[in-house]
Copies of this chain bind each other. A is one copy, B any other.
Amino acid sequence: MEIIDGKAISEKILEEIRSDLEKRSCETPPCVAFIRVGDDPASVSYVNKKQKVAASLGIESQLHVHPVEITQKELLLEVSRLNADPKIHGILVQAPLPNHIESNVIFNKVDPDKDVDGFNVVNAGRLCQEDEEGFLPCTPAGIVELLSRSGVQTSGKHVVVLGRSLIVGKPAGLLFLRRHALGNATVTICHSRTADLSSVTRTADILIAAIGRPRFVTADMVKEGAVVIDVGINRVEDSSRKSGFRLVGDVDYDAVAPKCAHITPVPGGVGPMTVAMLMSNTVKAQKKALS
């Protein structure tokens, strides 16, 4: 069993980006704008992390914080303003948004060529069309990179994705279906309505858990020798920690790991890759703007 070290792989990717940016040191740096609504602790922490990593690469960032009472119309205006600003190459609206705001309406307002999160309708369509001009959502793109850099082949393999979200499940499925060296897999997408889930997940050569339920995937759901990618980042109470919680994945790691050929830990698996792919998308957005 091999633990896929997402932290080490993501650092390698960040190093590649840093080196790429240094080569073009005469140019202005890329700039990404973050929009955060409210003060949800997880959102604050994610955006901080992204800004910190950006700074470490010489990528500029801006943070625009709005109160939870902001209206959808006001938020759309804010996005439009950033769309129109030529100094800003990438825009990321941190999810989740308050319930009175339709997330897709906001994501679809972001200029598709600044959509470093890959949630805009045009980029979802480009993924369906296998158009590499598009921006891929960071988490599924990170999973593909993790597998590729761990020497896991996908062609002809059975990839089972647990979860059908627009942010992970569906785009991951579409990525592994592509006519592409990192695609060409047979893809199954399961979800809460799937009948006899274990019988499906046990057929997976590569199992991607993205359902947001702590330790949901148990050992009996996994085939001997499978590759398991755990996308879950769930906070569970832990009174022994200063914070009062700790992070666990969607996979019951201790029981599942011994059966796997490869597995990602939580934290230190998919999480850091998501941030690295965001940086990669930001550099791509600047290149688009300059071309």
Q: Which A positions have Cβ atoms within 8 angstroms of B? A: 104, 108, 120-131, 155-158, 164, 166, 170-171, 173-174, 177, 179, 184-191, 193-195, 200, 203
Cβ contact of A187, chosen from B127, B171, B185, B189, cutoff 8 A:
B189
Most chain B CB neighbours (cut-off 10 Å) among A126, A186, A189: A186
| Bound-complex Cα distance A129 to B123 (A) | 11
* B193-A164 in contact (CB<8A): no
Question: Are A195 and B125 in contact, with the CB atoms below 8 A?
Answer: no
Chain B residues near A126 (CB-CB < 8 A): 121, 125
Contact across chains for B128 and A120 when beta carbons are under 8 A apart: no
Cα of A195 to Cα of B205 in the assembled complex, Å: 11
Contacts of A195 on B, CB cut-off 8 Å? 156-158, 186
- Give 23 CB contacts A-B under 8 Å: A121-B125, A121-B126, A121-B128, A121-B129, A124-B124, A124-B128, A125-B125, A125-B126, A125-B128, A128-B128, A128-B174, A130-B166, A156-B194, A156-B195, A158-B200, A164-B179, A170-B177, A177-B189, A184-B193, A186-B190, A186-B193, A186-B200, A187-B188
Chain B residues whose C-beta falls within 8 Å of the C-beta of A124 in the assembled complex: 124-125, 128-129
Q: Is the interface of A mostly helix, strand, loop or mixed?
A: mixed
Report whether B193 and A156 are in contact in the complex, using a CB–CB cutoff of 8 Å: yes
Q: Which residues of chain B are within 8 angstroms of A191 by Cβ–Cβ distance? A: 177, 184, 186
CB of A165 to closest CB in B, whole Å: 11
A155 pairs with B193, CB closer than 8 A: yes
Docked Cα-Cα span, A75 to B131, in Å, equals 21
Report the minimal beta-carbon distance from A93 to chain B, rounded to whole angstroms: 15
Chain B residues within an 8 Å CB radius of A170: 128, 174, 177
Contacts of A127 in B (CB 8 A): 128
Q: Are B189 and A164 in contact (CB under 8 A)?
A: no
CA distance A203 to B108 in the complex (A): 37
- Chain B residues with CB below 8 A from A185, complex form: 193
List residues of chain B with CB within 8 A of the CB of A177. 164, 170, 189, 191
Q: Tell me how far the C-beta of A243 lies from the nearest C-beta in chain B, rounded to whole angstroms.
A: 34
Q: How far is the CB of A189 from chain B (nearest CB, A)?
A: 5
